Structure 1
Amino acid sequence: MTIVDWDREALKRGLADGTVLLIDVREPHEYEQGHIPGAVSHPLSRFDLDALQALIAEDGRRPVLACAAGIRSARALHYAQSQGVALTEHYAGGFKDWVGAGETIA
């Protein structure tokens, strides 16, 4: 399994320049309570690889997964790779790191 950890600064740059599609795999209630601006919700509990691949293909940006602290996003990457989908990147610190640094949330 291949996992590429992104840090907050790299994520901020990718979001600012529009090259990153941030995919939040937390549950809907977590996402609704606050999320990183620009993130799209795709909960791990209902992880649909076909829908995810369609989203990524339609969007065209580099997909980076995120969750609360990097655990669920790593699980999602593991699952995707086990199914032959070449997703490798996630925000290792997750939403907790983002909020802890005082970054803006939506």
Structure 2
Amino acid sequence: MIKDMIAGLFGKGVEEITPQEVADKDIPVIDVRKKKAYQQGHIPGAINIPYGEFEKDHPKLANLDQEQEIAVNCVIGASSKKITRLLNEAGYEKAKSMKGGFRAWDDKVEKN
């Protein structure tokens, strides 16, 4: 039981998606980085809900379909796992953490 709680806290078992898949599929992105980091650069169309302000019923989630695939990104992919777990528990079962976070997006996504 304690092992499951710890896994939940750290996002273990959360599905991941690569930055290239996010770009190719053109799916909604929730960016949980701080507002200043978001303003300095973000995935086009990403919704910014900073980690410290995230709630399962945040108003910015209202326009997202719980049945659609959603990517969650942070700086390196750790905080996004925790938020993805919360989203999964709130009914967003297709939410996935973006592997490597925004750094991976910035470094690896082919710009067309």
TM range (shorter): 0.7 to 0.9
Tell me the alpha carbon deviations over residues 42-83 of structure 1, each in whole angstroms, 9 at most, x when there is no partner: 11110121125423249x7522111111101011123344xx
Report which of the two structures shows the higher radius of gyration computed on alpha carbons.
Answer: 2
Letter in 2 for 1:45: G
Q: Hey, what does 2:17 align to over in structure 1? A: 6
Structure 1 vs Structure 2: percent identity of aligned residues? 25
5+ residue gaps, structure 2, are 1-7
Q: TM-score scaled to structure 1, two decimals? A: 0.75
Whether 2:77 is the aligned partner of 1:70: answer yes
Q: In structure 2, how many angstroms separate the alpha carbons of the residues matched to 1:6 and 1:77?
A: 11
Query: In the alignment, what sits opposite 2:4?
Result: none
State the aligned residue count.
Answer: 97
- Structure 1 unpaired stretches of 5+: none
**For 1:56 and 1:63, how far apart are their aligned partners in 2?**
9
| Structure whose residues are more often helix by fraction | 1
- 1:55 aligned residue: 63
